[in-house]
Amino acid sequence: MKQRRDKGRARQAKGSVQEAIGKIIGDADVERQGRRESEAGADQARGESPMIKDGDD
């Protein structure tokens, strides 16, 4: 469970950085994608989003 939270937090941080880069360079698509990734990471860290495991797809 802790590993899943850690991965969610990392995903959230990556999304936040991507969102900030999008704002800096003025690219709304990059900013939007970063925001979605950050929100998904936050959900994953809280345990609200199922994580796809290898072989489950």
List pLDDT tens digits, range 1-57: 688 888 889 999 999 999 999 999 999 999 999 999 999 999 988 887 555 554 444
Yes or no: say if 56 and 14 are a contact pair by the CB < 8 Å rule. no
Residues 3-27 as b/e (b if ≥16 CB within 10 A, e otherwise) read: eeeeebeebbeebbebbeebeeeee
Q: pLDDT per residue over 22-32, tens digit each?
A: 999 999 999 99
Is the pTM value of this prediction over 0.85?
Answer: no
